[in-house]
Amino acid sequence: MARGKAHRRNRAGNFRPMDRSPISHPSPSAPSSRSGTGIRHPVRRWPVSAATGKSHKCLVPPESPGEKFVLVVGDSHLRALVDGIVRMPAGGGVTFGFMSTPGASAAELYTEVSHANISRTPDLVCLLAPSNNLTASRTLPEAAQDFRQLLTLLQSKWSKLFVLDFPPRLTVPEDLQTFLRQDFHRVAAQMGIKYLSVAEHFSLDRLALWARDGVHLSDDGGMVVLASLLWEFASQQLVEPVVQAPPPASPRPAARRVTPKVVVSGHSVSPRPTNPFEWTCKVSNPKVWISSFHTNEIVLSAAPIPVSPVRFSPAILDLLDKFYPSDLDCAGADVPVPAGNKVTVIS
């Protein structure tokens, strides 16, 4: 069935755009409508950056001998410090410079840092975590990714870096701020960058810490606390860690030397004579006849004795035959040996 223009006009009139929260997260608490009771100075006009189209100002103090230079990068929370409305604590051999871009998110701070030309090399860089991502980012993962890219750029330009958490807002649900802090902290921890919290120093019940807009800190309240935290944490990061020397190694007790004791088991072997002309034969049976030649002895044994075989060269045998001929009467005498016994010669 064809439908006329009146029906289509009614359909268009009933259409409503779908609501879309800046950072989607399941069941966020209702936004707070509270406002601060503190005072904030009137906003001064700053130069507009060609990179982002936002107000931007960079303040670098003159070099002073013996002082460490700390550069603080952040958003509109640094306005009062850049304009000199709130003073940083003095002393400690630390001087502060600021690069502030009011209203900038992490992606816009990335653009400003990439175009920045700092006349002095800072000894330490402090990034004030960008709270504008609470409204500029569509999702928490997107905010975390932009924050990671910003930290990567800062690390490539300056080696010594830490992150200071953003002060709470009265106009954004508290749990949503907690989720963003957790994502920022997780990214910094993965990159090995220290992330320092400040939320516990700003009680939401002390409304004098915020200006009337509920977003910015008051000059006489919250900004004094933030400046003190900046000085304290920066001074801690500038202190060189004390490297403790390892304790001296305790001397080891002298090893007890044990002389090995050789234990021989089984049949003992007769040592070889050093003189090949001296040899002895023994007979265990006393009834066997014994022939003696000078100091040498021939012993016929009725029982076998395990011996070590020794072979003589022909030259030695000829020499033996010269002094002790083999055709002697005694050598040819019949020696009675009991049946079943064996004659063994031990050299």
Q: What is the pLDDT of residues 321-331, one digit of tens each?
A: 777 776 555 44
Q: Are 297 and 282 in contact (CB under 8 A)?
A: yes
Residues 209 and 284 in one domain: no
pLDDT band, very low/low/confident/very high, at 135 (cuts 50, 70, 90)? very high
Q: Which domain holds residue 178?
A: 30-238
Torsion of CA 147, 173, 79, 72, to 10 degrees: -30
Other beta carbons less than 10 A from residue 289's beta carbon: 13
If one compares 112 and 266, the residue with the highest pLDDT of the two is 112
pLDDT band, very low/low/confident/very high, at 316 (cuts 50, 70, 90)? confident
Report the alpha-carbon distance of residue 93 to residue 78 in Å, rounded. 21
In a domain, 19, yes or no: no
Residues 53 and 199 in one domain: yes
Q: Indicate if the pLDDT at residue 81 is higher than 70.
A: yes
Q: What is the pLDDT of residue 91?
A: 78
Q: Indicate if the pLDDT at residue 80 is higher than 80.
A: yes
Count of domains observed in the chain: 2
Q: What is the pLDDT of residues 230-259, one digit of tens each?
A: 999 999 999 866 556 667 776 676 666 766
In a domain, 217, yes or no: yes
Report the alpha-carbon distance of residue 124 to residue 169 in Å, rounded. 27
Q: What is the CATH number of the domain that holds 111?
A: 3.40.50.1110
Question: pTM to 2 decimals?
Answer: 0.63
If one compares 210 and 283, the residue with the highest pLDDT of the two is 210
